[in-house]
Amino acid sequence: MLKFIKKLFSSRSIENERVIEENYFIKYSDVLDKQVISQMLEEYKTGIIVFEPIRKTLTEADQEDLYSQIDKSNLLSHQEKFETIIGLMMILDGSFPEATIVSRLGNVFGKEFMDTIENKRNEFKTDIAVKRTIKFLANQSS
């Protein structure tokens, strides 16, 4: 399983940037459903950016604290923790996980955290729509 995880990480060329996450991947490697994790990591790798990535606005210690909160949660099984960690990775990098993962993130971090993320996503959508409209109008006037 460890080789499987390292292969998934290296395929994204981000192995140096995701040391925190990799530590959790290794921790849970013996209890995970490979197929589910493979699908989630593929979704993470190919996911559409729906809001401004926030990873760079957080210190490494802040990120570690977020992952640690998931890891310490008594509400989630090991598989659910791992899936939730991938969901947090998605959020930090500007994409949005499926509703089940969002629900788990809300259970761990609280409704206010997820409302903030949802608001950022909506602001980003509006910003993109405005930029597309401006670009469209500029092309029309040319």
The domain ranges of the chain are: 2-141
Whole-number pLDDT of residue 19: 66
What number of other Cβ atoms are within 10 A of residue 125's Cβ? 12
Tell which wins on pLDDT, 2 or 106.
106
Kindly report whether the global pTM for this prediction surpasses the value 0.85.
Answer: no
Average pLDDT over residues 51-59: 82
Q: Rounded to an integer, what distance in angstroms lies between the CA atom of residue 45 and that of residue 39?
A: 10
**Could you give the count of Cα atoms lying within 13 Å of 92 in the half-sphere of its Cβ?**
21
The percentage of residues in the chain with a pLDDT greater than 70, rounded to a whole number, is 77
Average pLDDT over all residues of the chain: 77
Q: How far is CA 14 from the centre of its chain?
A: 14
Q: Closest by alpha carbon to 23, among 55, 49, 60?
A: 60
Whole-number pLDDT of residue 1: 44
What number of other Cβ atoms are within 10 A of residue 101's Cβ? 21
Token look-up 């890891």 returns 71
Mean pLDDT is lowest, of 46-50, 108-112, 123-127, for: 123-127
For 15, 57, 122, 133, the CA distances from 127, given in Å and listed in that order, are 31, 19, 9, 10
Whole-number pLDDT of residue 71: 93
Whole-number pLDDT of residue 5: 47
pLDDT band at 16 (very low <50, low <70, confident <90, very high): very low
Whole-number pLDDT of residue 129: 64
